[in-house]
Structure 1
C-alpha cells in the first residue's frame, strides 16, 4: 500500500494519539518475546487494539462479542478498538506510534520489512510460542499461518481470516465470444482480444486502489520462480531484469495491448469494478472469497446469477508451483506488543482465540482454523459451498501480494509505473530499468 505525505499537522495529531495510548497499560510486563506465560495476577483493565479493518466487518464484530463475553467474567475489562480502515493512513499511524514506542497491547500488521524490524528488536510476542503454549497451534490452517510468517519462517502475527482469490467469470459471455477458461497465463491476451471483438469488456478491475493490478504482476513470477522471487526482490537478491521479472513485465504489457481491462480502469473504484461484473458487462473479475456474499448468493442479480462460475490461477509451461497454489491470504495479522504483554493480555487471548473460530464461522466466513465449519447462509448458490470446500485443498506455496512485501516507497513507484506499462505509455524495458533503480535506491531505506 502506498504511504501518503507526512504533514506536520497529522504528525502532531498522531503524537497526541501516542500519548493517549501510552496510558493503555497499567501493569509491568517482561518485554521478553518468548515469555508467553508471564507470572502475576490477572488484573482487569482496558486494553487497546490498533486495527486496519472495516468497523462493521466480521472480524471486529466477532471480537467485540467475545470481548463483551470476557468482560462479563472479568469486571473492569474492556477492549478499545482503534479503527483506521484506510490502509495507507493506518500504516502511517502504526509506524509513527511504533517509532515513538507507543503501540498499544495489540496492533495490526502485515509481514512487512517494517514489522520484521520490530520483531528483530524484541517488540512483538512470539506468536508461534504463544499458540503452542495455548494448545491452539494445530488448530490453524497451515496456509493461514504461512501467510503471516516472515521470510525466515518465524511467526509474530495471529491470522483472523482465511481467503481464496479466484477469477470469477460469466459463462454466458464466454460462450458468446467463443472462448474457454484459460489453461495458462499466456492464453489471457488472446482471450481478451476475442472477448473485446464480441463487444464484451474482458476484465473488470479496481484500478483506483492499485493493489488489484499489482496482483496480476505477481502471478507470472509466482508460477515461474515461486514465492521466493519477491522475497529475493525486496532483499536485493533479485531484480526486475531477471527472467521472472522480465516475463511479468512483458505479460502485463501484453494484457494492456490486448485490451484486457476496461477503458479508464485506472480511475475505476472497487464498487464500480464489481458492478461491471455483476451487471453482466464484464466477463472476468479477480477477487477473493470475502465477496462470496455478493457473488454466490441470491443477492446477485438473477440475470447473471446462474452464469457465474470461477477458476483458479492458471499455470504456465514449466511452472514451479502447483495448480492448487495461488493467492490464499489470511488478511492483515494481529501482533502482540511485548512491552505491554502481561497475565491479563495472555488470559484474554487464550479466551478469545479459543472462542473466535466458532463465532466467526457462524457468519458464513472461512475461519483461519479447521476447527469450525463455515455456516452456509440462506440463499447461497452452489458456488458458495464449492468455494468453502476448496479451502481444504490448497497447497503450501502462497502467491503473496506484493504490496505487503515491498517497502512502501518501492511499492508506490511500482504501482505508478505498472499503470503506465499496462496503458502502453512505457515499454517493458523502461519499466524494468525504473523499478530496478527504485529497488536499489530504497533497499536500505
Structure 2
C-alpha cells in the first residue's frame, strides 16, 4: 500500500505526460533527438485539465506537424508547482523559451527589471499584421517604459456563477445590488443552503471579493494610487470593502471549512450543488456551462464610483519569451499560436474570449450556452481592472492577501481594527 501511495505522490508532482510519435515527455526528461534535430522551443504553461490545456495542445500538435524546422516541447504544471518552477528558473537564469505569465508589477519587478524576458517591441513593430490582431490597449498590458515584453493570450472576466435551480427553489433572482446579494444570502441560509463557495487556502479567491468590492465602491483610482505609492490601503474605499467582507462573514455566507479549501475543491462543491454562488474567472466557463443549472451575472452594484460594466481581470495574462532562449523560433511559435485560426479554435474549446480585434468569430461547433455567454460578456464589458496581487509589487501583494485572510477569520473586528490592519500593507 505504501508503494502505491508513493507512486501517486510522484505522479502528482510531475507535469502532465505527453506522447508524440511514440515518445514520452515529462518535466524532467526529453526524448532523444537525432543529430539533425529541429530547433526546440520549450513551452511552459499551467496544467488545467480542461479546454484551455486541450486547445493549446491541439495548436502545439498542429504546429509540430506543419513544418520540420522548429519543434515545440510543452510542459504543463499544477498552478502551485508552476509558480514555484518559474521562481527557480528566474533565479537560475534557465528559463523556458516561451511561457505563460501574469502581467502587472510582479511581472515588471521579477522578469522585466531582471532582464530575463525578451523585448518584443521591434519584432512586433516589424510585423504589422501581428500587431493588428489585437484590440486597442491590449498590448499595453505587457508594456513597460514604452517597450513590449509580453502579449496577452486571453481576456478574462471574473463573474458570479449561480445555481439556477437553488435560486428558483428559493424564489430568488440574480442580485443586482449589494442589498439584493445580502438578502439572497439570508434567504439561502434560512433554507439550509450554503450561499457562496470560496477557497481560502490560496487566498486569491478571497481577494477577488475584496477587489470587486473596493472597485465598485471607489473606482480604480484608489488602487492605482496605492500601486504608485501615492496612497495606501487605509483609503475609505478599501475600509468599506473590508466591512462588506465582514458582512458576508457575519451572515455565514461562505462554505464551511473554506479556509482550508483549494479553489478546485470549492469549485467542485459548487458544481455538485453544495453552494448557490461562486465568484470565478471565465477561464472555467466551459466546465460550468456544461451544467444546465449554472447561470451567471455581473458583480452587483454598491452605489459607488466603480463602473458596473468594468470587470476584474482583463488582459491580465499571456505569453513572454526568455531573453537568453531561442527567441527567433519562439516568436514564430507565438505568431502561430496567436494566428486568427488558432485563436478561434482556442476560444471555441474553452470559452476564454481573445484580445483579437474580431472577437466574435467562433467555430460553428461552439456549444450554445458557451456562445451565449461569450456574446453576453463581450458586449457587456466596457472596461477592466487588473488582478490586485499581480498589479502590486510582490511584497505588498502578499501582505494584502494575508490581511484579507485575517479579515475573514477574526471573530470580531471594528472599523479601527480594519484601518490598522490595512495600514500595515506598505
What band does the TM-score fall into relative to the shorter chain?
0.7 to 0.9
- Partners in 2 of 1:243 and 1:433 — Cα distance? 13
Aligned to 2:91: 99
- Partners in 1 of 2:302 and 2:98 — Cα distance? 41
Instruction: Give the CA deviation at 1:111.
Output: 1.6
- Partners in 2 of 1:415 and 1:58 — Cα distance? 29
Secondary structure at the aligned position of 1:193 is classed as helix
Give per-residue Cα distances to partners, 1:55-107, cap 9 Å, x unaligned.
Answer: 645445444444444444543522222333223x3333323322333323223
Q: Is the 8 A contact 2:197 2:270 kept in 1?
A: yes
Structure 1 residues 69 and 170, CA, compared in 2 at 3 Å: closer, same or farther? closer
Aligned to 1:261: 254
Q: Does 1:250 align with 2:243?
A: yes
Secondary structure at the aligned position of 1:219 is classed as helix
- Partners in 1 of 2:60 and 2:268 — Cα distance? 36
Instruction: Give the CA deviation at 1:120.
Output: 4.1
- Partners in 1 of 2:151 and 2:264 — Cα distance? 29
Q: Does 1:210 align with 2:203?
A: yes
Secondary structure at the aligned position of 1:345 is classed as helix
- Which stretches in structure 2 are left out of the alignment for 5+ residues? 1-27, 30-36
Q: Residue 325 of structure 1 is aligned with which of 310, 321, 327?
A: 310
Instruction: Give the CA deviation at 1:180.
Output: 3.9
Give per-residue Cα distances to partners, 1:154-179, cap 9 Å, x unaligned.
Answer: 64222223333221223443344444
Instruction: Compare 178-187 and 382-391 and name the one that shifted more.
Output: 178-187
Aligned to 1:221: 214
Q: Is the 8 A contact 1:113 1:407 kept in 2?
A: yes
Instruction: Compare 190-199 and 255-264 and name the one that shifted more.
Output: 190-199
- Partners in 1 of 2:238 and 2:170 — Cα distance? 32
- Partners in 1 of 2:225 and 2:326 — Cα distance? 33
Question: 1:322-361 alignment to 2 at 5 Å?
Answer: 323-330=308-315, 332-340=317-325, 342-354=327-339, 355-361=341-347
Structural RMSD (CA): 3.2
- Partners in 2 of 1:129 and 1:225 — Cα distance? 38
Q: Is the 8 A contact 1:257 1:422 kept in 2?
A: no
Aligned to 1:124: 117
Per residue, is there more strand in 1 or in 2? 2
Q: Does 1:230 align with 2:223?
A: yes
Q: Is the 8 A contact 2:321 2:327 kept in 1?
A: no
Q: Is the 8 A contact 1:376 1:384 kept in 2?
A: no
Question: 1:140-179 alignment to 2 at 5 Å?
Answer: 140-142=134-136, 145=139, 148-149=141-142, 155-179=148-172
Aligned to 1:13: none
Question: 1:71-110 alignment to 2 at 5 Å?
Answer: 71-72=64-65, 74-87=67-80, 89-110=81-102
Question: 1:256-405 alignment to 2 at 5 Å?
Answer: 256-297=249-290, 300=291, 305=292, 307-321=293-307, 323-330=308-315, 332-340=317-325, 342-354=327-339, 355-368=341-354, 369=356, 370=358, 373-375=361-363, 380=367, 383-405=369-391
Give per-residue Cα distances to partners, 1:354-376, cap 9 Å, x unaligned.
Answer: 25213313425334123673347
Instruction: Give the CA deviation at 1:384.
Output: 2.4
- Partners in 2 of 1:417 and 1:167 — Cα distance? 23
Q: Is the 8 A contact 2:124 2:131 kept in 1?
A: yes
Instruction: Give the CA deviation at 1:219.
Output: 0.9
Q: Is the 8 A contact 2:106 2:392 kept in 1?
A: no
Q: Residue 50 of structure 1 is aligned with which of 36, 44, 51?
A: 44
Give per-residue Cα distances to partners, 1:218-273, cap 9 Å, x unaligned.
Answer: 01221233334333323422222111111111111111112211222212333442
Secondary structure at the aligned position of 1:124 is classed as coil
Secondary structure at the aligned position of 1:415 is classed as helix
Secondary structure at the aligned position of 1:212 is classed as helix
Secondary structure at the aligned position of 2:338 is classed as helix
Structure 1 residues 318 and 418, CA, compared in 2 at 3 Å: closer, same or farther? closer
Per the normalisation by structure 2, the TM-score is 0.78
Secondary structure at the aligned position of 1:285 is classed as strand
Structure 1 residues 286 and 60, CA, compared in 2 at 3 Å: closer, same or farther? closer
Aligned to 1:12: none
Give per-residue Cα distances to partners, 1:285-316, cap 9 Å, x unaligned.
Answer: 2223233333222xx3xxxx3x4322111122
Total equivalences in the alignment: 386
Structure 1 residues 82 and 274, CA, compared in 2 at 3 Å: closer, same or farther? closer
Per the normalisation by structure 1, the TM-score is 0.75
Instruction: Give the CA deviation at 1:215.
Output: 0.2
Q: Is the 8 A contact 2:142 2:152 kept in 1?
A: no
- Partners in 2 of 1:361 and 1:92 — Cα distance? 28
